[in-house]
């Protein structure tokens, strides 16, 4: 009886064994593989960013660090003390490593110190035999050789935020960085590459026992920009003479952006190498908004640079021609309101070219009452104002071109005729970005093509350059007339920017000044003749200038805004002069952007470079 | 209780040796051999740290087994009570000053070997009960007062073992003891009543159980509820077993064990390791060997001439089979993880010692099957 019981229990056990191993064997086999096989990611290296001539703007530099594998170092404290005799290492760092060694598995390397200098690396290498458990590791760190000069355009990389996580398995890798701003953000996906995987057999504590299978990922793609870094640097240094300013240099025909600078800026390397807290707080507190790319995200009243739009709307409407004059007594009466010209003594009788070159407000006040806001707004939009331009950098803002419908939608109020008058000289609700002003200028001087700005030349071997733009429905005669007025701004004796004239006719340029009020000038101030320079910085006018060069056959356009810099002719025009002169000397348009082949700047274009 | 036995033997030492169950010996060798192979594999293909030590222990304890086998069974009859009391005393000692280990006090460190008195007690209880029931008549077995003493024989050590606390061993002593009642002819109703009593005591037992014991029962009922905690053992063991399939992953190829996913692979979960590497065929082969060993119990008992020998042989084999069943059921997830080794196979000295003592006694019964044990 006992034996029978024993045998039946044995049978039950055998049956159970069959159930587990034969019936469910496949399932458990899978679970067992899941247990032992760990898929590890191999992080791809991020693609580089180059300027149009193949000069590196963003690269991966090797970050040398000294690592400690606890199980190889018998006496961790002893080894670290020995290391202290070789490189600078404070006690807090040692304590951190010892603490960490207690928490993590003994075979996982712990970073003792990173960003080692070459000297430190070699010192450690020499002493390695006496430093058991230590080794030198290399990691990628994003580096921006031109620092602040490319901070806004190229942008920077940073750790993925909580919200980003889950988008790409790569983000979970320690030390992974993704593009946060500028170009780094725009083409992040392409430059990031994709993770390779490595199947490894691991034991219960996760140590790799052997590699089973590996699948290489794709390295990140490199990119070439339309930027000319030497010009970019020049522009950045130029505008850095002001407290807060921004400038864009663009090709009038292709839309290629050659330089885009915003000051104050910051050193993007701080974001990848570690930002001291006081520097960060300084950046946030700076009234010049150093983290903002003001060339595309700064929205300013276009002021007198908008007068070309009002003028062209008038020409299109047939209300004005070359010869029509308006008498400027220094102000314009509309109903009971008086609108002042900047020149209180008045310009006398002025025609269109004179009105532009001398920036007579009264001319445009009167014109605007004849054509109305809708006509002005339409022309402004035709020329790229009031909406984003599909520029690659995501920080781009749309600006604002107001009209009746907008005001009704925004304030539920009717449009007032006085608001048209204010808009005619680029004040009031109007908001434009410097990039939009550059585009507006380009469309005025390139023969009427609806050029749009771009910065991306190549991403990987994909050619993303642009150059063919649709012809706009605008009369060549009208454009010529406006350009003539703009030529006179700089080159005539009475032009508002005559002081910035380039004497060498080969480099001469034209343009338009603008002085944007940031607050209303009160009657009392006007009567007292208060000078703008005496106001607190934040209340002073913005100085603007849009320009093109060479003036007889424009190739380059630029827009300069000096925040609270006072009058455009005094603050912005001199900067534009230097920028346009340098641009013409460097002549970036003569060089095609160097392509990218296999992640490297193509060879053929190097020859091209030497040819010129 | 005062009884003396006249020990008289006409067997020479060579007669005795020739009567040793060599078949059983070969089976023990085979099962232990499987153990050595499994331990060699558990160490990742190395004799150290487990296989070599286990082999040395085995050889030494095998000598002890033969010595026990050659000692006349009547001596064992005489020594039953002294052994029981020594064992009991040791349990008390463990309770008072035992070492702390695995949350339970179980060992006495004898220097060379860590002795677990509860292991010794399992054999002692069987011996004493065999002796007590030796002269019992069927009428005796129907009288409840007659059964009070043997009940106390079981309950006293079980109480101490429970205090340690070692639920697994307590249950095994109870089961081995109760099976002896049954073999000696106690009424089937007694077992029914006992079963009802046991069932009704479950709530009380639950209340008295340590947290870790409750945890074990709970995770047994639903191991997946706590996959990284206490249920981990059972899940990993089932994965290891199941992934072995029909023919196993091959010697030294058991990934679950080799990569340490399997806990306690050299002790309680040695069967898992074996069946992972050798599959269903290997597992069944080991079960078959155990089955043949179990058959030796009734066979030896049948040939014995008197009750003490019969009860002893049967009690010992029931004890041994309980070990096997509990361990294998445990690793297959049929019962909670109670922490019982697989005799002869698992790494560890105490378990091997008690198994070989048990076989030594069985062999002694066989060798001296013709001796008469009489109450004088």
- Collapsing DSSP to helix, strand or coil, B231 comes out as coil
Residue B110's pLDDT band, with cuts at 50, 70 and 90, is low
Which of 176-205 (A) contact B at CB < 8 A?
A: 201-205
- A222, A244, A262, A304: the active-site residue: A304
Residues in chain B: 376
Rounded Cα distance between B260 and B141, Å, is: 52
Q: Decide if pLDDT at A244 tops 70.
A: yes
Interface contact B259-A7, CB threshold 8 A: no
- Grouping H, G, I as helix, E, B as strand and the rest as coil, residue A271 is helix
Cβ-contact A392, A456 below 8 angstroms: yes
What's A68's DSSP letter?
Answer: E
Residues of A in contact with B261 (CB under 8 A): 32, 35-36, 203-204
Does pLDDT of B105 surpass 80? Answer: no
What's the mean pLDDT in B83-91? 91
Question: pLDDT tens digit string along A37-87?
Answer: 766 677 788 999 999 999 999 998 888 888 888 877 778 888 888 888 888
Closest Cα to residue A136, out of A108, A114, A104, A106?
A114
Residue-level pLDDT at B220 = 59
Please check whether residue A362 is in contact with residue A326, taking contact to mean a CB–CB distance below 8 angstroms: yes
B241 min Cα distance to partner chain A (Å): 6
pLDDT computed for residue A531 by the predictor: 72
pLDDT of residue A607: 39
The encoded tokens of residue A517 equal 């009020």
Give the pLDDT score at A99: 82
Among chain B residues, the shortest Cα distance to A207 is held by B259
Cα B193 to Cα B190: distance, rounded to the nearest angstrom: 5
**Which tens digit of pLDDT belongs to each residue from A501-534?**
999 999 999 999 999 988 777 777 777 766 777 7
The pLDDT score that the predictor gives to residue A564 is 93
Fold of A229-590: Beta-lactamase (3.40.710)
Is residue A551 within a helix (H) or strand (E), and if so which, with residue range? none
From CA A6, how far away is CA B196, in angstroms rounded?
A: 23
A210 CB neighbours in chain B (<8 A) are: none
Please give the residue that has the higher pLDDT: either A400 or B105: A400
Q: Quick one: B4 exposed, middle or buried, by C-beta within 10 A (0-12, 13-18, 19+)?
A: exposed
A7 touches chain B (CB under 8 A): yes
State the average pLDDT over residues A270-283.
85
Residue A115 and residue A138: Cα distance in Å, rounded? 10
Q: With an 8 Å Cβ cutoff, are B287 and A2 in contact?
A: no
The model's pTM is 0.63
The CA distance from B161 to B170, in Å, is: 6
Q: Taking CB atoms and an 8 Å limit, are A13 and B329 in contact across chains?
A: yes
Q: Is residue A418 a contact partner of residue A320, using CB atoms and an 8 Å limit?
A: no
Has A304 been annotated as catalytic? Answer: yes
- Give dist(CA A54, CA A228) in Å, integer: 9
A612 reaches B (C-beta below 8 A): no
CB A542 within 8 A of CB A562: yes
Which ranges in A66-222 belong to alpha helices (H)? 76-84, 91-103, 118-127, 151-154, 182-186, 188-192
The DSSP secondary-structure symbol of B261 reads: -
Which of the four pLDDT bands, split at 50, 70 and 90, describes residue A166?
low
Q: Which residue has the tokens 């340029």?
A: A509
pLDDT tens-place string over residues A554-595: 999 999 999 999 888 999 999 999 999 999 999 999 988 988
Q: Are A248 and A136 in contact (CB under 8 A)?
A: no
- Can you say how many angstroms the Cα of residue A482 is from the centroid of all Cα atoms in its chain? 32
Of A199-213, A219-233, A542-556, B159-173, the least confident: A199-213
- Residues in B closer than 8 angstroms to A16, CB to CB, are 329, 332, 334
Please report, rounded to a whole number, the percentage of residues in chain A having pLDDT higher than 70.
93
Residues of A in contact with B242 (CB under 8 A): 20-21, 24-25, 27-29, 31-32
- Any CB–CB contact under 8 A between A32 and chain B? yes
Q: What is the pLDDT of residues B219-265, one digit of tens each?
A: 656 655 555 555 677 788 888 888 888 888 888 888 777 777 777 78
Dihedral sign computed on CA atoms, order A7, A12, A15, A21: negative
Q: Which residue has the higher pLDDT, A208 or A27?
A: A27
Q: Chain B within 8 Å of A537 (Cβ-Cβ)?
A: no
Q: How confident is the model at residue B348 (pLDDT cuts 50, 70, 90)?
A: confident
- The predicted model gives A134-144 an average pLDDT of 84
The mean predicted confidence, pLDDT, of chain A is: 88
Pairing of strands A326-328, A556-562: unpaired
State the pLDDT confidence band at B2, using cuts at 50, 70 and 90: very low
What percent of chain A stands above pLDDT 90?
57
Q: What is the model's pLDDT at position A577?
A: 96
Distance CA B332, CA B238 (A): 6
- Distant-in-sequence, close-in-space partners of B19: CB < 8 Å, separation ≥ 6: B11, B366, B367
The pLDDT score that the predictor gives to residue A602 is 64
A4 touching chain B per CB within 8 A:
no
Integer Cα distance of A254 and A451 in angstroms: 7
pLDDT band for A610, please (50, 70, 90 cuts): very low
Is some CB atom of chain A closer than 8 A to the CB atom of B136?
Answer: no
Smallest Cα distance from A207 to chain B, Å: 9
Tell me phi and psi for residue A502, to 5 degrees. Answer: -90, 120
**Rounded mean pLDDT of B339-357?**
89
Reported as a single tens digit per residue, the pLDDT across A330-343 is 999 998 899 999 99
Chain B residue at shortest CA distance from A9: B325
Alpha-carbon distance A539 to B304, whole Å? Answer: 117
Main-chain dihedrals φ then ψ at residue A331, nearest 5 degrees: -160, 170
pLDDT of residue A71: 75
> Does the beta carbon of A77 lie under 8 angstroms from any beta carbon of chain B?
no
Q: Would you say A121 and A136 are in contact if contact means Cβ atoms under 8 Å apart?
A: yes
Binned at pLDDT 50, 70 and 90, residue A605 comes out as very low
Given a contact cutoff of 8 angstroms between Cβ atoms, the answer to whether B348 and B282 are in contact is no
With a pLDDT cut of 90, the percent of chain B lying above it is 35
Q: In this structure, how many other beta carbons lie within 10 angstroms of the beta carbon of residue B26?
A: 12
Minimum mean pLDDT range among A435-449, B128-142, B252-266:
B252-266
Strand A49-50 with A223-225, pairing: parallel
Residue B236 in contact with partner chain A when CB distance is under 8 A: yes
Distances (CA, A) of A394 to A70, A228, A293, A389, B86: 45, 21, 10, 11, 87
Domain spans, chain A: 39-224, 229-590
A29 contacts chain B (CB < 8 A): yes
Phi, psi of B339 (to 5 degrees): 80, 55
What's the whole-number average pLDDT of chain B?
83
Q: At what angle do helices A25-36 and B232-244 cross, to 10 degrees?
A: 120
Distance (Å, whole) CA A363 – CA A397 = 31
Mutation target among B126, B176, B242, B275 for the A interface, most CBs of A within 10 A: B242
A129 compared with A540, residue with greater pLDDT: A540
Q: Quick check: B337 contacting A, CB < 8 Å?
A: no
B281–chain A Cβ distance below 8 A for any pair:
no
Residue A501 Cα to chain centre, angstroms: 31
Helix (H) or strand (E) holding B25: helix B22-42
**Residues β-bridged to residue A65:** A137
Q: How far apart are CA A385 and CA A396, in angstroms?
A: 12
* Other CB atoms within 10 A of residue B322 CB: 21
Average pLDDT of span B193-212 = 78
CA-based end-to-end distance of chain A? 106
Q: What angle do CA B315, B321, B326 make, to 5 degrees?
A: 125
Query: Tell me, what's the ipTM?
Result: 0.81
Distance (Å) from the C-alpha of residue B163 to the closest C-alpha of chain A? 30
What per-residue confidence (pLDDT) applies to B227? 53
Residues from chain B contacting residue A27 (CB–CB below 8 Å): 242
Round to whole Å and give the CA distance between A587 and A585: 5
CA separation, residue A146 to residues A174, A228, A340 (Å): 27, 12, 46
* B102: pLDDT strictly greater than 50: no
Q: Please name which of A343, A328, A264 lies closest in space to residue A515, comparing C-alpha atoms.
A: A343
| Average pLDDT for B137-144 | 83
Distance from CA of B14 to the nearest CA of A (A): 32
Chain B residues in contact with A14 by the CB 8 A cut-off are: 283-284, 287
Range with lowest mean pLDDT among A382-386, A562-566, B107-111, B154-158? B107-111
Identity of the residue in B243, B256, B283 whose CB atom sits nearest the CB atom of A17: B283
Give the closest-approach CA distance of B287 to chain A in angstroms.
Answer: 7
Q: Does residue B375 have a pLDDT over 60?
A: no
Interface residue B244 vs chain A (CB under 8 A): yes
What digits encode the pLDDT tens for the residues A405-442? 999 999 999 999 999 999 999 999 999 999 999 999 99
The whole-angstrom separation of Cα A101 and Cα A581 is 61
DSSP state of A142: E
> Chain B within 8 Å of A602 (Cβ-Cβ)?
no
Name which of A10, A21, A33 is nearest B245 (Cβ-Cβ): A21
Strand partners, B25: none
User: Does the structure show a pLDDT above 70 at A606?
Assistant: no
- Contact check, Cβ <8 Å, A13/B297: no
Ranked by mean pLDDT, which of A162-176, A267-281, A472-486 comes out on top? A472-486
The answer to whether the CB of B5 falls within 8 A of the CB of B318 is: no
Hey, which CATH number is domain A39-224, 3.90.1310.10, 3.30.300.160, 3.20.20.450, 3.20.20.70?
3.90.1310.10
CA of A38 vs chain B CAs: smallest distance (Å): 12
Between CA A260 and CA A238 the distance in angstroms is 12
| CA dihedral sign, ordered A396, A397, A403, A409 | positive
pLDDT (tens digit per residue) in A180-201: 999 999 999 899 888 777 777 7
Give A29→chain B minimum CA distance, Å.
4
Residue B248 to residue B274: CA distance in whole angstroms: 9
Contacts of A243 (CB under 8 A, 6+ apart): A264, A288, A537, A563, A564, A565
Which of B228, B259, B300, B312 best tests the A interface by mutation, with the highest count of A CBs <10 A?
B259
Q: How far apart are CA A401 and CA A385, in angstroms?
A: 7
- Please state the rounded mean pLDDT for residues B325-351: 86
Kindly state whether A13 is in contact with chain B, defined as any CB-CB distance less than 8 angstroms: yes
Cβ contacts from A onto B, under 8 A = 111
The chain A residue lying nearest B258, using CA atoms, is A203
Q: Which of A2, A10, A17 sits opposite B314 (nearest CB)?
A: A2
CB atoms B259 and A24 under 8 Å: no
Per-residue tokens: B141: 């077995």
- pLDDT tens digits for range A487-498: 999 999 999 999
What residues contact residue A82 under an 8 Å CB cut-off, 6+ apart?
A127, A130, A131
A103 vs B376, higher pLDDT: A103
Q: Least CB-CB distance to B243: which of A7, A14, A29?
A: A29
Nearest chain B Cα distance for residue A136, angstroms: 29
Distance from CA of B284 to the nearest CA of A (A): 6
Chain center to CA of A390: 13
Contacts of B295 in chain A (CB under 8 A): 3
What gap in Å lies between CA B292 and CA B284, rounded to an integer? 12
Question: For residues A371 and A349, is the Cβ–Cβ distance under 8 A?
Answer: no
CB-CB under 8 Å, B334 with A203: no
Q: Determine the Cα–Cα distance for residues B115 and B103; give it in Å rounded to an integer.
A: 17
Q: Is B248 left (phi over 0), alpha (psi -120 to 50) or beta?
A: left
A278: exposed, middle or buried (C-beta count within 10 Å: 0-12, 13-18, 19+)? exposed
Note the pLDDT of residue B230: 53
A512, exposed or middle or buried, with CB in 10 Å at 0-12, 13-18, 19+?
Answer: buried
A161 close contact with B: CB closer than 8 A: no
């Amino acid at each position: 009886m006992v034996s029978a019981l024993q045998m039946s229990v044995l049978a039950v056990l055998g049956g159970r064994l069959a159930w587990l191993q034969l019936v469910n064997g496949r399932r458990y086999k899978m679970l067992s593989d899941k247990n032992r096989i760990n898929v590890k990611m191999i992080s791809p290296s991020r693609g580089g960013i180059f300027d149009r001539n193949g000069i590196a703007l963003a690269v991966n530099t090797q970050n040398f660090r000294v690592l400690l594998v606890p199980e190889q170092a018998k006496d961790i404290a002893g080894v670290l003390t020995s290391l202290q005799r070789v490189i600078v290492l404070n006690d807090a760092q040692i304590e951190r490593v010892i603490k960490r060694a207690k928490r993590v598995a003994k075979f996982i390397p712990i970073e003792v110190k990173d960003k080692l200098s070459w000297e430190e690396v070699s010192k450690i290498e020499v002493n390695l035999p006496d430093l058991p458990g230590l080794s030198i590791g290399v990691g990628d760190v994003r580096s921006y050789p031109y620092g602040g000069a490319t901070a806004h355009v190229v942008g920077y990389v940073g750790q993925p935020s909580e919200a980003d996580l889950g988008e790409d398995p790569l983000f979970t890798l320690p030390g992974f960085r993704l593009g946060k701003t500028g170009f780094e953000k725009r083409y992040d996906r392409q430059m990031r590459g994709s993770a390779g995987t490595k199947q490894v057999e691991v034991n219960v504590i996760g140590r790799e026992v052997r590699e089973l299978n590996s699948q290489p990922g794709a390295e990140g793609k490199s990119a070439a920009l339309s930027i000319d870094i030497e010009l970019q640097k020049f522009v950045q240094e130029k505008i850095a003479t002001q407290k807060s300013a921004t400038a864009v240099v663009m090709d009038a025909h292709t839309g290629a952006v050659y330089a885009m600078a915003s000051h104050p800026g910051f050193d993007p390397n701080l974001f990848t190498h570690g930002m001291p807290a006081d520097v960060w707080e300084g950046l946030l507190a700076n009234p010049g908004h150093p983290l903002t790319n003001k060339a595309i995200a700064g929205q300013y009243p276009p002021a007198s640079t908008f007068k070309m739009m009002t003028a062209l709307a008038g020409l299109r409407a047939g209300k004005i021609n070359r010869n029509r004059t308006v008498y400027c007594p220094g102000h314009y009466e509309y109903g009971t309101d008086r609108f002042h010209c900047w020149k209180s003594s008045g310009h006398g009788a002025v025609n269109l070219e004179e009105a532009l070159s001398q920036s007579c407000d009264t001319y445009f006040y009167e014109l605007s009452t004849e054509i109305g806001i809708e006509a002005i707004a339409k022309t402004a939009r035709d020329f790229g104002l009031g909406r984003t331009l599909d520029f690659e950098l995501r920080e781009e803002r749309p600006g604002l071109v107001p009209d009746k419908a907008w005001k009704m939608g925004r304030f539920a109020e009717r449009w007032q005729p006085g608001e048209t008058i204010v808009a005619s000289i680029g004040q009031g609700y109007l908001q434009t970005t410097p990039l939009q002003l550059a585009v507006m200028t380009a469309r005025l001087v390139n023969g009427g093509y609806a050029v749009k700005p771009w910065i991306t030349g190549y991403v990987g071997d994909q050619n993303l350059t642009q150059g063919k733009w649709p012809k706009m429905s605008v009369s060549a005669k009208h454009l010529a007339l406006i350009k003539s007025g703009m030529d006179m701004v700089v080159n005539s004796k009475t032009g508002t920017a005559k002081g910035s004239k380039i004497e060498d006719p080969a480099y001469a340029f034209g343009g338009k000044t603008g002085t944007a009020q940031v607050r209303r000038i009160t009657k009392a101030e006007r009567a007292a003749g208060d000078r703008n320079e005496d106001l607190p910085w934040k209340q002073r006018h913005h100085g603007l200038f849009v320009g093109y060069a060479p003036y007889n056959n424009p190739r380059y356009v630029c827009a300069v805004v000096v925040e609270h810099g006072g009058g455009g002719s005094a603050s912005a025009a001199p900067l534009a002069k230097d920028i346009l002169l340098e641009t013409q000397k460097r002549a970036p348009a003569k060089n095609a952007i160097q392509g990218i082949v296999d992640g490297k700047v193509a060879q053929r274009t190097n020859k091209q470079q030497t040819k010129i | 209780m005062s009884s003396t036995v006249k020990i008289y033997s006409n067997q020479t030492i060579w007669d005795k040796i020739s009567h040793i169950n060599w078949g059983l010996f070969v089976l023990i060798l085979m099962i232990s051999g499987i153990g050595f192979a499994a331990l060699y594999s558990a160490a990742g293909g190395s004799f150290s740290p487990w296989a070599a030590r286990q082999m040395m222990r085995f050889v030494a304890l095998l000598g002890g087994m033969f010595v026990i086998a050659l000692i006349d069974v009547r001596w064992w009859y005489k020594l039953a009570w002294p052994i029981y009391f020594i064992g009991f005393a040791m349990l008390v000692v463990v309770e008072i000053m035992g070492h702390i280990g695995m949350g339970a006090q179980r060992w006495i460190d004898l220097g060379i070997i860590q002795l677990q008195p509860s292991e010794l007690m399992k054999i002692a209880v069987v011996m004493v009960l065999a002796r007590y029931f030796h002269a019992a008549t069927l009428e005796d077995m129907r009288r409840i007062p007659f059964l009070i003493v043997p009940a106390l024989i079981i309950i006293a050590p079980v109480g101490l073992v429970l205090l340690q606390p070692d639920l697994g061993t307590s249950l095994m002593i109870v089961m081995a003891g109760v099976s002896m009642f049954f073999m000696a002819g106690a009424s089937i109703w007694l077992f029914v009543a006992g079963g009802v009593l046991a069932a009704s005591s479950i709530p009380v037992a639950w209340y008295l159980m340590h947290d870790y014991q409750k945890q074990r029962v709970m995770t047994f009922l639903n191991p997946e509820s706590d996959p990284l905690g206490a249920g981990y053992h059972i899940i990993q063991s089932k994965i290891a077993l199941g992934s072995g399939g029909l023919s196993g992953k091959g010697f030294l190829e058991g990934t679950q064990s080799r990569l340490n996913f399997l806990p306690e692979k050299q002790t309680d979960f040695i069967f898992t390791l074996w069946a992972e590497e050798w599959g269903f065929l290997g597992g069944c082969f080991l079960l078959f060997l155990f089955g043949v060993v179990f058959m030796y119990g009734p066979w030896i008992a049948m040939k014995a001439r008197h009750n003490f020998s019969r009860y002893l042989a049967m009690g010992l084999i029931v004890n041994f089979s309980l070990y096997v069943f509990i361990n294998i059921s445990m690793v297959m997830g049929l019962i909670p993880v109670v922490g019982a080794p697989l005799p002869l196979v698992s790494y560890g000295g105490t378990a091997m010692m008690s198994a070989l003592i048990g076989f030594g006694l069985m062999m002694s019964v066989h060798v001296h099957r013709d001796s008469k044990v009489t109450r004088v």
